[in-house]
Structure 1
Amino acid sequence: MYLLLLKGQSMHEILKIALIGDFDSQVLAHQAIPKALKLNTSQKVEYYWIHSSEVDLKGLSQFHGIWCVPKSPYDNMENVLSVIRFARENKKPFLGTCAGYQHAALEFARNALGYEQAGNAEVNLETPMPLISALVCRLNNEQKGIALKEGCKIRHLYEQSEITEEFNCGFGVNPKYLSLFAESDLLFSSVDHHGDPKSLELQSHPFFIGTAFQPERSALQNKQHPIIKAFLNACLG
C-alpha cells in the first residue's frame, strides 16, 4: 500500500481515493495516476494503492472514490470483482481504466445479470464464456478514434461526439456478448470504427464509468482530463 499525504493538510481537508490494482513502478499508467489525481482537482488528495490480494471490503467505506487501475491479470481477480460490486451496489464513485473497465463489465455480467460462467480468457483460456477476450490486434501505446453515443454521460463530459484516446491493451470486452447487456442498466457508451465497445457506464449510478483507454496518461502532458475531473468532482459529493 502506498500513500500520499500532502504536508500541512488535516484529514477533513483531504479527498481519499482507493487505487485497486497491483502497483508496478514500471507501468506508465501507474506513473501517471498520481499526477492525474493532483492535476484534475484543486482539492488535496490522499491516495492508497491497494494490492488485489490485500483487499478489505470493510475498509472501503472510508474512501470517497474507487479507481480500478490498469495492469492485468490481477493477482486476485475475485477480490477486484468484489470491490467493483461494492462500488456498484453502494453508489460509491467508481472509475475503471483499461483492466478496470474490463472487470467492471465482468462483475456486472456475473452479479447483476446472473451469468456466473462469464470469464476472463486472459486468466483462463478454457472459460466457457470469454466475456473478456484477446483483441484481434494488440494496442501498444496507440491513439485511436472513438465515437461517443448520444445521450451518454461521457459524451456530456467531453461535449463532443468523437474523441481520440490512448490505449495499451491486449484484451477487451468481447463484442459477441454485447446483446446480453442490451436491456440492462449498463450502457456501452462508445465504440471504435469497428464497432467494438470502448467505454461503459451505469445509468442509475451517480458516477460509475469504465474506459478501455487510459485517460490518466493525459497527466504526463500536464493536461486535465474530463473523465478524471468528473470522477473527482463526484467524489467530493
Structure 2
Amino acid sequence: MKYILVTGGVISGIGKGIITSSIGMILKSSGLRVTAIKIDPYLNIDAGTFSPFEHGEVFVLNDGGEVDLDLGNYERFLDVNLCRDNNITTGKIYHHVINKERRGDYLGKTVQVVPHITDAIQEWVMNQAMVPVDENKEEPQVCIIELGGTIGDIEGMPYVEAFRQFQFKAKRENFCNIHVSLVPQPSNSGEQKTKPTQNSVRAMRCLGLSPDLIICRSATPIDMAVKEKISMFCHVKPEQVICIHDVSSVYRAPIILDEQGIANYLKERLNLPIVDSASNLLFKWRNLADRYENLQKTCSIALVGKYSTLRDCYASVFKALEHSALAINYKLNLMYIDSIDLEQTTENEDPMKFHEAWQKICKADGILVPGGFGTRGMMGKLQAISWARTKKIPFLGVCLGMQLAVIEFARNCLNWKDADSTEFDPNTSVPLVIDMPEHNPGNLGGSVRMGLRRTVFKTENSMLRKLYGDVPFIEERHRHRYEVNPNLASQFEQSDLHFVAQDVDGERMEIMELANHPYFVGVQFHPEFSSRPMRPSPPYLGLLLAATGNLNDFMQQGCQLSSSDRYSDASDDSFSEPRLAELEIQ
C-alpha cells in the first residue's frame, strides 16, 4: 500500500480537497486503484450535527455516514463510493480509545495521547486504506489522506505526530507528503510573497514531516523566479514545486497538475506501477474542462433555500445542476435566493431584498427547492413552489422540497387549507407530512432515515422512470425524518398529483409527479449525492432539460443515449443526442 499525505499551510480553505481529489483522479487514470481518507480534527463524532452556516453541507454516503463535504469531492472525482470510516474525526478516535480503556484492553496502563491516540490514528488509516471502494472488490493500491486544518493548529498536533511515526512504519518508498500552501499577492505591490510558504514548511519540518511536493496556490500564475525561491528556501528541487492558480472551474485542476508532471514524480518517488498516464479517462476529463470553458448558452435556475449566505451549504446540489447543464451543453447560472426574502413578514423588513428575490424567480428558467430542516423561510418556499406550478415553470423539489410541494398542492388545489407538516405544526388538523413510522420522539439518536435505500416505481407512465432508463427500481441516498402521510396519500389519486414510486414496502412516498406540467417533480431522497461529472443525476438532468426546452425531444427519442462523440466541441450550440452520450444512465 502506498500512502500520500496532503497537508495545508497558511490558511484553511485553500483547496486541499480539490487537490486531493485531482491527484486521486490522475492516479486512477493511470490504472491504479485509489481510495481517499479525510481527517477532521474536531471532537464531533461526525458531521451530522453541524450547522450548515458553519461547516457547509453534510454529505451522506451509501452506508448512511454523515461526513465532511470533501468526501463528496472524492466521490465525484474518483467515481467511487466511500464509507463512513473514510472520514476520521478526533471524536471518533477518542471514542474508540476510551471504549478500549473501559474494556480494560490497555491492561491498567496510563492512556495518553502518545502512544495510544497516535497508534489508534495509524491503525485506523491502515485498516481503512485496505477497504475496497469499487465493484471488483480488489484492495486499493494508493490511499490519499487529507489532513484538515493547517499545520500548527493545536487540534491537529496528534495527527502530525501520528504521521511522523507512520512514515517510518510504512517506509520511505511507501509514504510521501504533499504540502499545499498559499502564495499571496498583495494588491499594493503586486509581488507574489513566498515567506508564508517558507514559514509553513519550516513549522512542519520542526514537527518531523518534510514535504516531497509543495503545491502553491495563487491568484495568478506563479513566476519562475518565485518558484525557484521556494525551491531554495524550502529545500526541494524546482520540479518539486507545483503551482495551481485560480482557474475558471475545478475541472481544470487535474489538468494543471498533470501538465506539471505530478504523475511521473509520484511514479518514481513511490515506485508506482504506472504504464500510461495519458489514459482515456484523463483525456475525457480534459475535454470536459475545455467544453466547460467554451459554453455559449446559459440556463438560469433559482435555488430557493434558507442557507443562501454560504454556498457550500448546497455544494452537492450545485454540482448536480452543473453536471446536468454541462451534459446538455449549457452554462449554469445558479441564482441563490433566501426563501425568507420571498415573504412579506416582519422577519423580512427590507423591501429591496423582497423585490430582488422575486425578480430572480421571474427570470428563472427552472426552480429548485432543496432539503432542509426547521420552519424559517417555509412560507417563501411554498410561494416559490406555487409560482412554479401555476406558471408552468420546471420545478424539482428534494426532500423537504417535495414535502412542501405536496402541502402546497393540497392547500391550493384540494382546498385542504390546514394541510401542514408536524415538523412545523405538531397539532395540525391535517397532518399531511408526519414523523417516520419508526421514529421514537424519546430517542432522537438514529431517528433519521439515512443512506442508500431502494425506491420502486408503481407505474410505467412516469417521466422520472424514463429518465432513469425505464428501470423497475432505483437506489438513492436518503436523509430525512419526516415523510408524506401514507394514510392521506391515497386521496390524491383523482388529482393531477401522483405518487409514482414508493419504498419496497409501499409505505413511503418516494417520488411525486404533477400531470399537465412541463416538469414538476418531487423526490424524497437526495439524488445530488450520487451525481458525477460524467454521469449526472436523472432528476437534475430532467430539470435542466425542461428548463432549456429540450425535455420533450429527449423523451421522444426514448431517452436513448449514444456512446459516440462523448465530448463534442462546445462552440456548436445545437442540441443533439450525441451531446448527452456521456450520461450512460443505467
> Quick check: TM above 0.5?
yes
Measured against aligned partners, the alpha-carbon deviations of 1:196-223 in whole angstroms (never above 9, x if no partner) come to 2111000110100000001111136864
CA contact (8 A) 1:32 1:220 kept: no
Pick the structure with more strand per residue.
1
Measured against aligned partners, the alpha-carbon deviations of 1:43-70 in whole angstroms (never above 9, x if no partner) come to 1111122111012445412000000011
Mark the CA change 1:13 to 1:222 in structure 2 (over 3 Å): closer, same or farther.
Answer: closer
Shift of 1:41: 2.1
Shift of 1:33: 1.0
Measured against aligned partners, the alpha-carbon deviations of 1:174-232 in whole angstroms (never above 9, x if no partner) come to 11111221100000010002212111000110100000001111136864111111110
Q: Does 1:208 align with 2:514?
A: no
Match of 1:30 in 2: 314
- SS of the residue corresponding to residue 40 of structure 1 reads helix
Deviates more, 1:99-108 or 1:140-149: 140-149
Gaps of 5+ in 2: 1-247, 250-291, 343-356, 439-446, 550-586
Match of 1:3 in 2: none
1:7-156 maps to which residues of 2 (within 5 A)? 13-23=297-307, 30-42=314-326, 43-55=330-342, 56-137=357-438, 138-150=447-459, 151-156=461-466
- SS of the residue corresponding to residue 385 of structure 2 reads helix
Measured against aligned partners, the alpha-carbon deviations of 1:86-115 in whole angstroms (never above 9, x if no partner) come to 100000000000000000000000001100
1:177 maps to which of 469, 488, 492: 488
Shift of 1:27: 10
Mark the CA change 1:57 to 1:111 in structure 2 (over 3 Å): closer, same or farther.
Answer: farther
Match of 1:229 in 2: 541
CA distance in 1, matches of 2:388, 2:473: 28
- SS of the residue corresponding to residue 513 of structure 2 reads strand
Deviates more, 1:46-55 or 1:22-31: 22-31
CA contact (8 A) 2:308 2:338 kept: no
Gaps of 5+ in 1: 1-5
CA distance in 2, matches of 1:80, 1:90: 15
Q: Does 1:198 align with 2:198?
A: no
Shift of 1:149: 2.2
Mark the CA change 1:208 to 1:190 in structure 2 (over 3 Å): closer, same or farther.
Answer: same
Please identify the structure whose Cα radius of gyration is greater: 2
Mark the CA change 1:148 to 1:28 in structure 2 (over 3 Å): closer, same or farther.
Answer: farther
CA contact (8 A) 2:301 2:333 kept: yes
- SS of the residue corresponding to residue 224 of structure 1 reads coil
CA contact (8 A) 2:419 2:431 kept: yes
Q: TM-score, normalised by structure 2?
A: 0.37
- SS of the residue corresponding to residue 379 of structure 2 reads helix
CA distance in 2, matches of 1:60, 1:38: 19
- SS of the residue corresponding to residue 92 of structure 1 reads coil
CA distance in 1, matches of 2:547, 2:375: 25
Q: TM-score, normalised by structure 1?
A: 0.89
How many corresponding residue pairs? 232
CA contact (8 A) 1:29 1:214 kept: no
- The amino acid across from 1:69 in the alignment is P
- The amino acid across from 2:362 in the alignment is S
Mark the CA change 1:22 to 1:220 in structure 2 (over 3 Å): closer, same or farther.
Answer: farther
CA contact (8 A) 1:36 1:216 kept: yes
